[in-house]
Amino acid sequence: MNTRRPVADLPYRPCVGVMLLNARGEVFVGRRAGMTAHGWQMPQGGIDAGEEPAAAARRELREEVGTDHAEILAESREWHHYDLPADLVGSVWGGKYRGQAQKWFAMRFTGRDSDIRLDTHTPEFDAWRWVALDDLPDLVIPFKRPVYQALVAEFGHLVRPDLR
């Protein structure tokens, strides 16, 4: 007898994400360790029990990018959701979640590129770079693209003031 819950009955994992912008209006992306095609993404991660989303975003930035030289510019108006492909549901996060519900924060990077250290914790990224905002959706794994497209639309005015 299969006691697994149907995917549609699984909850979303509470998570935060950080769109880190440099002074040129470019966005930080890291390449997921061990991935090649579409392995780029912005920093993101789970919210710990009792942790506020903004605090989780700062923690994730320290853990994944190795710096806290950033100031929060904006918080997403809503939680963005994505579903994992069916073949990943049982193998990611112990099979407990169908995908993620993400609260995103746009942050201005106030440090120097040399402040970025991918080796401060267990590395999630094996490379990083700054990219143009409009290039973001094409760099990520396809099932995350709609979230990234929504973030480009929501936070675009921070890079291109003409979009206000």
Which CATH number characterizes residue 150's domain? Answer: 3.90.79.10
| Angle, CA of 73, 97 and 48, to the nearest 5° | 45
Q: Which helix (H) or strand (E) holds 65?
A: helix 53-65
Reported pTM: 0.91
Query: What is the span of the domain harbouring residue 22?
Result: 11-159
- What integer pLDDT is reported at residue 149 of this predicted model? 97
Distance CA 128, CA 125 (A): 7
Structure confidence by residue, pLDDT tens digits, 108-120: 999 999 999 998 7
Asked if residue 1 has pLDDT above 50, the reply is no
In a domain, 28, yes or no: yes
**Residue 164, in any domain of the structure:** no
Q: What is the pLDDT of residues 41-76, one digit of tens each?
A: 999 999 999 999 999 999 999 999 999 999 999 999
Say if 64 falls within a structural domain: yes
For residue 5, tell me if it sits in a domain.
no
Mean pLDDT on 138-161: 92
Question: What total of structural domains would you count in the chain?
Answer: 1
What is the predicted pLDDT for the residue at 4? 64
Query: What is the Cα 162 distance to its own chain's centre?
Result: 25
- In this prediction, residue 37 carries a pLDDT of 67
